[in-house]
Structure 1
Amino acid sequence: MSNIKKTLMKQGMKLMTDPRVMKIMQDERVMKAVMDVMSVPGKVQSFTAESTEKIAKAMSLATEDEVNDLKRQIRRLEEEVARLEKEKKG
């Protein structure tokens, strides 16, 4: 995968130095389209996360974030209990 990425980056850099591509990239519409395409993965991830959360709430399920919060809270409480037991013995 790394080799593919390196090859794509190399070819992309080569294209960016081509005068024809440089001229096209100066067009505001092209730049807007490029920026829109680059923002798609973030939008998809955000949409997916929001949809998952809505479905989980509709089905009365805990989300991954809620489970992680509960795990942290349990860990803190266990540490507190251990500390109190140690104080009681000592």
Structure 2
Amino acid sequence: MSLVSGVVVYFLIWWVVLFAVLPFGTRPEAEGDPESGWRGTPQAPRLWRKAAVTTLVSSVIFVFVFLLIDSDWLSFRTGWLALPEK
């Protein structure tokens, strides 16, 4: 995997994990708007903590993906997924 493709893969993993982590621990306003019922944004979203957790989880997933891509276990050129030779 080249440096550019590694950065792109890490960036994609980071954003997917961020959207998975964002709802954890959020509490909407208890009262909300009496007319519309809209409860608004969370009171304490703790975005720095969520960014740190996202980075940690993304790094672990990226290492696994990197090792999987660089191994011959999952390859279309060699191994059990290889295309038959003509």
Please give the TM-score of this superposition, normalised by the length of structure 2.
Answer: 0.34
Please give the TM-score of this superposition, normalised by the length of structure 1.
Answer: 0.33
Q: Which has the higher helix share?
A: 1
Which protein is bigger by CA-based radius of gyration?
1
Higher-RCO chain (CA-CA 8 Å, sequence separation at least 6): 2
